[in-house]
Amino acid sequence: MAGRTPPQHDAATRLQRPPMEDNPNRRRVRRMRGDCRQGRNVTSSLTAGITDSAYHGDKGSLSSSGARRILKCPALFRWEQDNPPPPRPEFDFGHLAHRLVLGEGSAVTLLDPKVHGLKRDGTVADNPKATTAWKQAESEARARGEVPVHVDDYDAAVAMAKAVKEHPVAAALFDNGQAELSGSWTDPDTGVKCRYRPDWLTTTSSGRTICVDYKTSVSADPRDFARSCATYGYHQQQAWYETGLTADGHTDPGFVFVVQQKTPPYPVSVVELHADAVMLGARLNRRAIDLYAKCVADDMWPAYGDQIHLIDLPGYVYSQENIA
């Protein structure tokens, strides 16, 4: 921790960090690691059976991804609420992996080049996805609310699910629990309704709720995932879900990420964020909720302001000046 001063914050945030040698966060993790092999189902008021489209289409509440988005630009957040972006094919594989690992998620439609990727002469096209039949099958699947998946991607996702089951800690976490429950709470300071949707909830033998978030990534190396957390705001996601679970009556919930590489041999790592990172996420979430409440009250969703912005190059660019 040299060179970094622990941040100061209101004790009401419930995230005050004690000295490192007496950090209950570390003790909780040790307990969790020891108990996760005896996971149990979660008793909770969270709701099952809410579809992805219904959850993400709720414009009357703020989600974790929405909180991260509104901090970047309220105007973009509002536009995307009113104009939901179309499904992004690059996310299809992640949805498939989630379904096979968690047992819940969007239904999938398998597309086979030998069936959907044929040329007029009946042979498989060099680029099956460019054929009319493939595009039609893909469009029909999305119209049904399903995820179109190449059979090769399906085989890869099956191998990924197998690798998760072979990882002793990840397998124990996913051994028993509930997937993709949906919950909400009302922020006491603003009255804003906040929603959340954990990937997986399980309970240790001591009765502690553990939230497990499954991430597919180009790398499962914990050092690489640290950068992903900073880029995509996963520290905010953890703090958001912990707040929701606490509001739902789950005392001192734990949280871990199960990270899996999307290419063979599909390695897996189980990652816990440092308490300082989660506290930063909580402070950013507080700012996002306040900003959302103000935008709703004023019915104004600003972009980047009308002023002229003075910018500079990233520091590493200057450091390259003397590189031969």
Q: pLDDT 10s per residue in the chain (324 long)?
A: 444 443 433 322 322 333 333 444 444 444 443 444 344 454 446 899 888 888 988 999 999 999 999 999 999 999 999 998 887 877 888 889 999 999 988 889 999 999 999 999 999 999 999 999 999 999 999 999 899 999 999 999 999 999 999 999 999 999 999 999 999 999 999 999 999 999 999 999 889 999 999 999 999 999 999 999 999 999 999 999 999 999 999 999 999 999 999 999 999 999 999 999 999 999 999 999 999 999 999 999 999 999 999 999 998 899 888 765
Position 116 in a domain = no
Position 56 in a domain = yes
Position 32 in a domain = yes
Q: How far apart are the first and last CA of the chain?
A: 34
User: Which residue from 106, 65, 300 is spatially nearest to 194, judged by alpha carbons?
Assistant: 65
Position 287 in a domain = yes
Q: Do residues 85 and 77 touch, judged by C-beta distance below 8 A?
A: no
277: CATH? 3.90.320.10
94 CB neighbour count, 10 Å cutoff: 18
pLDDT score for 252: 93
> Domain span at residue 290?
23-63+168-295
Position 282 in a domain = yes
pLDDT score for 45: 66
pLDDT score for 320: 85
Q: Which residues pair with 124 in a beta bridge?
A: 118
pLDDT score for 6: 38
Position 106 in a domain = no
pLDDT score for 34: 41
The CA distance from 208 to 201, in Å, is 10
Position 4 in a domain = no
Position 218 in a domain = yes
Q: How many domains does the chain have?
A: 1
User: Which residue from 204, 198, 207, 160 is spatially nearest to 179, judged by alpha carbons?
Assistant: 198
Structure tokens at 183: 């919950």
Q: Do residues 200 and 174 touch, judged by C-beta distance below 8 A?
A: yes
What is the DSSP secondary-structure string of 171-214? HHHTSS-EES-BEEEE-TTT--EEEE--SEEEE-TTS-EEEEEE
Enumerate residues 6+ apart whose C-beta is below 8 A from 303: 73, 74, 75, 76
The CA distance from 89 to 91, in Å, is 5
